[in-house]
Amino acid sequence: MVDVALQSSRTATAQAGRKRAGLRNALRRKSMSAFLMTLPLILLIAVLVIYPALYSLHLATLNKAMTKFVGFGNFEFLFKRETFWLVVKQSCIFAISAVVFKALIGFIVAHFVHNVPANKQRKWRGMLLVPWVIPPAMSTLAWLWLFDPSYSAFNYTLSFFGLGPIPWTGDAMWARFSVILVNVWYGAPFFMIMYLAALKSVPEQLYEAAAIDGANWWQRIWYVTLPMMRNIIAITTLFSLIVTFANFDIVRILTAGGPLDHTHIFATWAFRVGIEGSDIPLGASVSLFMVPILAVAAIFILRDITKRGNES
């Protein structure tokens, strides 16, 4: 340490004249090394994210053999197909209802966990987060087995209550319900954890003040908890909307889009058309329809983040 200090002071006196040049040099080196440090990141994003995103725009304008430019031909073809509109409708139903239920269940469960004495919260939180930890492809297999047409454990249980066997994945409406149920099961813990973190950050004094003013529990949630959690609720919901809208694993494994395309969403239908049907341009066009809703959600998230960045 002493050596270094002595050395630097000596160089400082010796090179006082060249100090300015040295500083500029160091600055240049700094920005140069900073650029080199971010270069792998920039290359990765440019080559494997931005380029493919633009490439899919190009692919969407080609014919099936990818030899001819057809402009908006693929989109015109899609607009005329009934299945496409079915997929649009199902994607919206799937994403919106799953996100609403995830947010509601997450909110309620977070409150219950928050109610419990602090030393027991860890245990409950640990159990309730398990669905989020298991890879969705693996847990969906368990659900598929729970929904099995002939050996369904759910139907076995329901038969004790006199309820007939339910065609969990066989009937269009029930299949949609099952797909949403599995998604809610998988995603609700994420909301729970986010809301729990937000609940813990609400100052206790606010509740005390509200209690002194005679607020009942509903008023406390409506006037204290919700306004304090507004930011987290908004950003978690938007995140989840993106992820749910782009979901693939659950629908693919549980129903593979069936029965009769009645559970297909954009991702699974794009896979069916583009990879299994080897019509890559059409598949690319289908997945491009996810962009508008993703863009809207991304803009809102970004606005929130820059706003918070400015505040801090």
Partner 1 sequence: MSTVTIDKSGPTRKVKYGSMSRDRTWALRWSYFFLTLFAIFSLVPPFYMLITSLKSSAEISAATNPWWVYHPTLSNYVELLTSNQFLRFFWNSAWVSIIVVTITMLISVPAAFALARMKFWGSATLATGVFLTYLIPDSLLFIPLFKMFAVFGDWTGIQLVNRWYVLLFIYPTLTVPFCTWIMIGYFASIPKELDEAAIIDGASWFQTLTRIFIPVALPGLIAATIFAFTVSWAQFLYPLVFTTSTDQLVLPVGIITTLIKGDVFNWGQIMTGALLGAAPPLIIYAFLMDYYIAGLTAGATKG
Residues from 206 through 245 that contact partner 1 (CB under 8 A): 208, 211-212, 232, 235-236, 239, 242-243, 245
Told to check if 187 binds partner 1 by CB under 8 A, we report no
Please give the structure tokens belonging to residue 2.
């002493």
Bridge partners, 12 (sequence order):
none
| Residue of 84, 255, 270, 272 interacting with partner 1 (CB under 8 A) | 270
| Residue of 31, 159, 216, 219 interacting with partner 1 (CB under 8 A) | 31
Chain centroid to CA 115: how far?
Answer: 28
Site for partner 1 in 146-165 (CB under 8 A): 146, 148, 151, 153, 156-157
| Residue of 65, 118, 133, 173 interacting with partner 1 (CB under 8 A) | 133
| Residue of 12, 127, 163, 260 interacting with partner 1 (CB under 8 A) | 127
| Cβ distance to partner 1 smaller for residue 21 or 45 | 45
Site for partner 1 in 9-28 (CB under 8 A): none
| Cβ distance to partner 1 smaller for residue 163 or 305 | 305
CB burial string 136-168: b at 16+ within 10 A, e below: beebbeebbebbeeeebebbeeeeeeeeeebbb
Distance (Å, rounded) from C-alpha 97 to C-alpha 184?
Answer: 9
Cis, bond preceding 259 (omega within 30 deg of 0): yes
Please give the structure tokens belonging to residue 225.
């908890």
Would you tell me the crossing angle of helices 172-200 and 82-115 to the nearest 10 degrees? 40
| Residue of 12, 21, 23, 42 interacting with partner 1 (CB under 8 A) | 42
| Residue of 41, 65, 118, 173 interacting with partner 1 (CB under 8 A) | 41
Q: Are 285 and 276 in contact (CB under 8 A)?
A: no
| Cβ distance to partner 1 smaller for residue 21 or 294 | 294
| Residue of 12, 21, 141, 163 interacting with partner 1 (CB under 8 A) | 141
Please give the structure tokens belonging to residue 46.
């440019």
| Cβ distance to partner 1 smaller for residue 5 or 16 | 5
Told to check if 137 binds partner 1 by CB under 8 A, we report yes
Q: Provide the total of helices (H) and of strands (E) in the chain, helices listed first.
A: 17, 0
| Cβ distance to partner 1 smaller for residue 30 or 89 | 30
Please give the structure tokens belonging to residue 92.
């919206």
| Cβ distance to partner 1 smaller for residue 93 or 293 | 293
CA distances for 210 relative to 115, 199, 207, 217, 231, angstroms: 17, 16, 5, 10, 21
Told to check if 293 binds partner 1 by CB under 8 A, we report no
Site for partner 1 in 46-105 (CB under 8 A): 48-49, 51-53, 55-56, 59, 105
| Residue of 23, 138, 226, 296 interacting with partner 1 (CB under 8 A) | 138
Told to check if 142 binds partner 1 by CB under 8 A, we report yes
C-alpha triplet 84, 168, 283: angle, nearest 5°: 25
